[in-house]
Amino acid sequence: MSTKISRRTLLATGVAAITLPRFALASNPEDIMRKSREMRRGLTNSMADVTMTITARGRSTERKMRQYVLETSNSGNRVINVFSSPADVRGVSVLTHSALDGNDQQWLLLPSVGRVKRISSSNRSGAFVGSDFAYEDLSSFELEKFKFSAAANASVGGKTLIQVDYAPTYSGTGYAALRSYLDPSHYQPVQNHYFNRRGEHVKTLQLSRYKSYGGGAIWRPHLLVMTDHAKGSTTQISFSTFTATGTAESNFSANRFQRVS
Amino acid sequence: MASVRIIRPAAALSLALALPAGADTFSLDGFVGIEARNFLTFDGEPRQIYSLTGEIRSGGALTDSLSYDLRLYGRTNLDGLDGSYIDPTIAKLTWQRGNWQIDAGYDLVFWGVAEGRNVVNVINQRDQIRDQFFDQGLGQRMIAVRYFAPSVTVEAFVLPGFEELDFGATGRTWGLGLPVDDSRSTFEASDGADHTDFALRLSGGVGNLEYGIFAFDGTLRQPEFQVDTATNTLIPNYVQGEQIGAEAQYTTGPLLYKFEGVKVWPDSDSTYWSAILGVEYIIGDIIGIPSETSLFAEYYHDSRRDDPSVAFENDIFLGTQFRLSNTFDTEIELGVIIDTDDGDFIGSFNVSSRISDNLRASFEYIYADASDQSDGLFNSRDIDQLFVSLEWYF
């Protein structure tokens, strides 16, 4: 009898594991997003080649860059983007020190005149190099930048996902609210919805081609597709495989990032 | 027919660097272009200049600690006018290990934080043929030793020789009142343009404050002019001197506060100082147009208030740069420098945009209006010009 109960219990537990999303174990939205962040961190110092394809009014243009990312334990990520295409901006490079409060520091290298310029990062809602991504969409995800309001089950495309609602708390944002749908198997977002101040759903980001690193402890998407519903345009960002050997940690500084190409 | 002048005897080094036998990986890119410049109110010659331009860039690692960089710029005038040249803007070997870096060869160094002009940008001679407002620099021979601490960089420069300011076609107007004969340039140093200069710099950042201080000893890049009454031309004279300077920028939200200052001790002339105080303000989308706009306001002071050869001694620069967030990277710039004493001014309007994946087009209109004969801007009355260029990048 006890064996049967035990088997039923095990069977029930197994079914629940398949049918119930794991977030039921941690339904606090901030805890869920903390876990999501933890499960995409760990490469510490990585590099990837990035191709951005912007499609609007039937015309596509492509930008290419090499991206170096340094994860830090007590502050936001440090990122170097070095553009290689279009050809007239080849070598232009941007260093970003993400801040937990959203007030990122940024430096721009203009190789044509040999100038490194500290620039303002206040235009967070502005379009990144003419794409459908705003600067804030590409800034590193830090819990301190958001206020989390709710988490729930949601059925999307026949799959049960974890829906988390939250809102930016930093100044200069173009959004009143965001909604992420996380895959419960690795707690990574597969869709983000962006809402403006009128509550309109203005943009959708789809994240796919997830690959795991570090023996399954680290998950990264390799394809991002942002759709601007008002403009009818889309921007696709594809990443090469992330390599764990980026550039020297010391190069993620204002006086040395021009060494990186 | 005008000959192409190779600005420095560096062609062999440049070519050697262009084909690095031991390079692990190297890049090769550049552009070719065509330019047309039309002087609108100049009574002399030339009134039009048509040029072919081009640049080859290459770079790569030779070993784990040694790399090379090459940027060879050249231009030739299509109508046979003087002013053709080849400039190895960058042709250097770089050695890096730990916190140390040594660069040897031709390099381009930019110092400064202001937008309209920079008084602390003293290492490279300006390439005024490429850019009337001195944004571009000519390559400078140097050995530069740099030490990088976490937030401070210390740099020492040995600069064996310097480049003369190139005045291009004989008779071309530069807003100086008379044509310049740079074939008869004079030098205070006994070894002329081969004089070795020295510079030291310390720069860094603390939070939102960026700063730099420097000291320089050697040939001052901007020449004085002597009038040759026989030929009615100006003869550049390059003097020796020492200078110290400082720059700072404080960034807070959309506001950037800027300062540049320099004090100069010419060996054979009176000491003077120049300073810039400026502010930049960033605005996001305007009337729903995805864009970013920078607004600039800068004040220029020079202690040589009574020297009519000094153009910007008590002037204000007002400017804006409008960057459309489109796939063409379209930029529109409007700027004007106004003399606060008499209202004389010089202004420019510039539009630059990619028109296909590899083609970039630029248009510039420069306009000046001056009536005070005692001010340096007075001679800029004949500088009005239209400029168009088309560059194909590969």
- Higher confidence at residue B12 or residue B127? B127
Closest partner residue to B96 (CB to CB) among A125, A259, A261 is: A259
With respect to residue A120, please indicate whether it lies within any of the assigned structural domains. Answer: yes
Q: Does B25 touch chain A (CB under 8 A)?
A: no
Mean pLDDT along residues B336-344:
92
With respect to residue A241, please indicate whether it lies within any of the assigned structural domains. Answer: yes
* Residue pLDDT, tens place only, B231-255: 999 999 999 999 999 999 999 999 9
Mean pLDDT along residues A2-30:
49
With respect to residue A6, please indicate whether it lies within any of the assigned structural domains. Answer: no
Question: What pLDDT score does B18 carry?
Answer: 46
* Residue pLDDT, tens place only, B53-93: 999 999 999 999 999 999 999 999 998 888 899 999 999 99
Closest partner residue to A126 (CB to CB) among B203, B284, B360 is: B284
Q: List, as one string, the DSSP characters of chain A.
A: -HHHHHHHHHHHHHHHHHHS-GGGGS--HHHHHHHHHHTT----EEEEEEEEEEEETTEEEEEEEEEEEE--SSS--EEEEEEEESGGGTT-EEEEE--TTS--EEEEEETTTTEEEEE----TTSBGGGSS-BHHHHS---GGGEEEEEEEEEEETTEEEEEEEEEE-STT-S-SEEEEEEETTTTEEEEEEEE-TT--EEEEEEEE--EEETTTTEEE-SEEEEEETTTTEEEEEEE-PPBS--S-GGGSSTTTGGG--
To the nearest whole Å, the CA of B251 is away from the closest chain A CA by 7
Mean pLDDT along residues B164-176:
88
From chain A, the residues in CB contact with B362 under 8 A are none
Confidence of residue B48 (pLDDT cuts 50, 70, 90): very high
Which tokens hold the place of B386?
Answer: 């239209």
Above 70 in pLDDT, residue B275? yes
- Higher confidence at residue B330 or residue B10? B330
To the nearest whole Å, the CA of B103 is away from the closest chain A CA by 12
With respect to residue A206, please indicate whether it lies within any of the assigned structural domains. Answer: yes
Query: Contact, B88 vs B71, CB < 8 A?
Result: yes
Site from B125, B251, B296, B331 to mutate, A interface, most A CB atoms within 10 angstroms:
B251
Nearest residue in chain A measured CA to CA from B115: A117
* Residue pLDDT, tens place only, A203-220: 999 999 999 998 889 999
Q: How many CA atoms lie within 13 A of A182 on its CB side?
A: 30
Instruction: For domain B5-393, give the CATH number.
Output: 2.40.160.10
Nearest residue in chain B measured CA to CA from A249: B150
Q: Does A86 touch chain B (CB under 8 A)?
A: yes
Give the Cα separation of B79 and B50 in Å (integer): 7
Query: Contact, B202 vs B153, CB < 8 A?
Result: yes
Which residues neighbour B56 within 8 Å (Cβ) at sequence distance 6 or greater?
B18, B28, B30, B70, B71, B72
- Higher confidence at residue B23 or residue A147? A147
ipTM of the complex: 0.90
Among left, alpha and beta (phi > 0; psi -120 to 50; other), residue B171 is left
With respect to residue A2, please indicate whether it lies within any of the assigned structural domains. Answer: no
Question: What pLDDT score does B7 carry?
Answer: 55
Nearest residue in chain B measured CA to CA from A55: B327
Question: What pLDDT score does A16 carry?
Answer: 38
Q: Does A122 touch chain B (CB under 8 A)?
A: yes
With respect to residue A133, please indicate whether it lies within any of the assigned structural domains. Answer: yes
To the nearest whole Å, the CA of A132 is away from the closest chain B CA by 10
Q: Does B65 touch chain A (CB under 8 A)?
A: no
| φ, ψ of residue A176 in degrees (nearest 5) | -95, -25
Q: Which of 160-199 (B) contact A at CB < 8 A?
A: none
Structural domain boundaries enclosing A95: 21-259
With respect to residue A10, please indicate whether it lies within any of the assigned structural domains. Answer: no
| Count of the separate structural domains present in chain A | 1
To the nearest whole Å, the CA of B60 is away from the closest chain A CA by 9
Closest partner residue to B59 (CB to CB) among A117, A255, A261 is: A261
With respect to residue A207, please indicate whether it lies within any of the assigned structural domains. Answer: yes
CATH number where A84 lies = 2.50.20.10
